[in-house]
Amino acid sequence: MHGPVSTAWPLVALCAVTGAYCLLRMRSAVEEQRRAAGGEALMGFGMAAMAVPAAVFTPPRWAWPVYAAVFGAAAVRALWTARGAPHHLHHLVGSAAMVYMSVVMAASPSAAHHVHGGTGVPLLTGALLLYFTGYVLLSGARLVPTATPPATAPARWGDRPELARACRLSMGIGMVAMLLAM
């Protein structure tokens, strides 16, 4: 979603750092955390690649269908995982949003950016914006500390739930920015 360069590079950095931390979380001793972290790492790096300014790199036209296929597979996996754990539905929505943005980019005349031509925000883009804006607000509220946690052994970097929530919040903010740039 090649928007202005002034917002593109911070978005690339935010998504890449989030993806890198999610890779670190894949070393967790908790299996559920490892599985979720893998999908989130894919999402973070995919969003970072999509956000690179068009002046620096414009992907070839065949790249967008590849993106759609990769994130389509991630959506199917998230759907399968959500059968037993409904909290994975967010991963399904995120993957579906990436498929949608890939399809829009593949269908755009220049494949470098999408111009609405004054028709306003398409219905699906608006629905995704509402979802991710709500997700960002809810995730941000969950990060506000409520009480002093009990003294326990320090958690490893990959096992810190507040950092995992901060990563999800960062990706939600990135998704809002990318949808606004469409």
pLDDT tens, 149-176?
Answer: 665 655 565 566 778 888 899 999 999 9
pLDDT for 120 equals 54
Q: Cβ(15)–Cβ(51) under 8 Å?
A: yes
Cα–Cα distance, 67 to 96 (Å, whole number): 11
For 47-51, what is the mean pLDDT? 92
Residue 147: per-residue pLDDT: 67
Instruction: Identify the residue with better confidence: 67 or 146.
Output: 67
pLDDT exceeds 70 at position 108? yes
With H, G, I as helix, E, B as strand and everything else as coil, classify residue 140. Answer: helix
72 against 153, higher pLDDT:
72
Q: What is the mean pLDDT of residues 42-68?
A: 90
C-alpha triplet 47, 50, 51: angle, nearest 5°: 85
Cα–Cα distance, 174 to 181 (Å, whole number): 11
Q: How many residues does the structure list for the chain? A: 182
Across the range 22-29, mean pLDDT stands at 86
Neighbouring CB atoms inside 10 A of 6's CB total: 8
The verdict on pTM exceeding 0.85 is no
Q: What is the pLDDT of residue 113?
A: 45
User: pLDDT grade, residue 5 (50/70/90)?
Assistant: confident
- Taking the CB of residue 49, how many other CB atoms lie within 10 A of it? 16
Residue 116 clears pLDDT 50, i.e. is over it: no
